[in-house]
Amino acid sequence: MKDSSNQPENPAATAQPVPMMDLKRQYQPLHQELLNALDQVLVSQQFILGEPVAAFEKAAAERLGVAHAIGCSSGTDALWLALAAAEIGPGHAVVTTPFSFFASTSAILRAGATPLLADIEPTTFNLNPVAVEAILNGPQGASIKAILPVHLFGQCADWIAYDHIAKQHNLKLIEDAAQAWGADYQGVKAGALGDAAAFSFYPTKNLSAAGDAGMVTTNSDEVAERARMLRQHGMRRRYHHDEVGWNTRMDGLQGAILSVKLRYIDTWNQLRRTVAKRYHALFHAAGLVEAGPYPIHGIVLPQEVRGTHHVWHQYVIRTTRRDELRAFLTERKIGSEIYYPVPLHLQAALKSLGYSEGSFPEAERAAREVLALPIFPELREDEQQTVVSAIAEFLS
């Protein structure tokens, strides 16, 4: 009989699992505090809006340094509310990025406006101001009413450039800050940069609800008043409908949960920054890093642009053999995700926009090369070492 005791172990069989995200690690220390907050809502019976939501709105506005924060039912609804409240609609065009979640574009369509796409920067994956300028100076420029930059993966877009462009062309700026709670640009928080902003509190976000929830922020009294009206079927007075709005209110239970988590978000974001810094050090120590912006044989690391405060919603590397690497990591029980495998201009639902393959080369190349690695505040150093060692093995 053949002795198998000396046979080499299968690395995949003995691999230490590393989750892409583990929400239980965040929940456990807050267990009783969250239950107490939920109990208060159950006792008060304020299940929709009410004091639990009003308290969160007030605290969120103070934390972000904005005049108004309006809670709603999701980040997608927040984008629509921000656009509609800023009076962007039929006959208007809005410039945004092809490299984002679907809602960045679908919200523009839902508002009745036309999305115009511009390519991204290869280092930050954010909307490229130079590409936006080219559209503004082209034949479609006259119809453009607003720009909707996305603060992708937790890092603010180049706001000096967008502020200059907006003033030059008399445009509104709407922030898609869904992934960027706590990020800032030259000391100003995401959510306080533009005419209005939209946040998502989806469970995987840095500041997360126990389900869907979102928020519009603005320093404009007029935009805030319209957003509050539109989130309740266009009512300023009960059963008096001034416009056709939508039912997009925040639940009291979500407001209560978010109020608890708001007390900890700065610490969690700092821990994410620590995790990102540790990834940087481990990858450099392993000799896997290439300068970029495009990978050749190794990987290109994400960068924090000077003057920004990155909150690392995602830690996204670039590699030419992305799909093979992801399969390799999955075999070793290491989580990863692709944000985003198909740019928006190539989505079947958006064929009517008239774009085709080759329209946005940077977004298309990023879609082939990006891979998000595990990152959350409670991720341990030994788990990160497992991730980096696996990638080093793959590339060797």
Tens digits of per-residue pLDDT, 61-110? 999 999 999 999 999 999 999 999 999 999 999 999 999 999 999 999 99
- Fold identical between 24-262 and 265-395? no
- The domains of the chain are located at 24-262, 265-395
- CA dist., res. 352 & res. 354, Å (int): 5
Residue 385 pLDDT greater than 60, yes or no = yes
* Residue 14 in tokens: 């003995």
* Nearest 10 degrees: Cα torsion 120, 312, 337, 148: -40
In this predicted structure, what is the pLDDT of residue 235?
A: 87
Alpha helix segments (H runs only) across 86-193: 103-110, 129-136, 159-169
Residue 188 pLDDT greater than 80, yes or no = yes
Q: What's the pLDDT band for 6 if we cut at 50, 70, 90?
A: low
Q: What percent of the chain has pLDDT over 90?
A: 91
Residue 47 pLDDT greater than 60, yes or no = yes
Helix axes 103-110, 75-85, angle to 10 degrees: 40
Question: What's phi and psi for 280, nearest 5 deg?
Answer: -55, -50
Task: Give the global pTM.
Answer: 0.93
Per-residue pLDDT of 97-140, as tens digits, reads 999 999 999 999 999 999 999 999 999 999 999 999 999 999 98
Residue 5 pLDDT greater than 90, yes or no = no
Nearest to 114 by CA among 93, 89, 85: 93
What architecture is the 24-262 domain classified under in CATH? 3-Layer(aba) Sandwich (3.40)
> Which superfamily does CATH assign the domain made up of 265-395 to?
Aspartate Aminotransferase, domain 1 (3.90.1150.10)
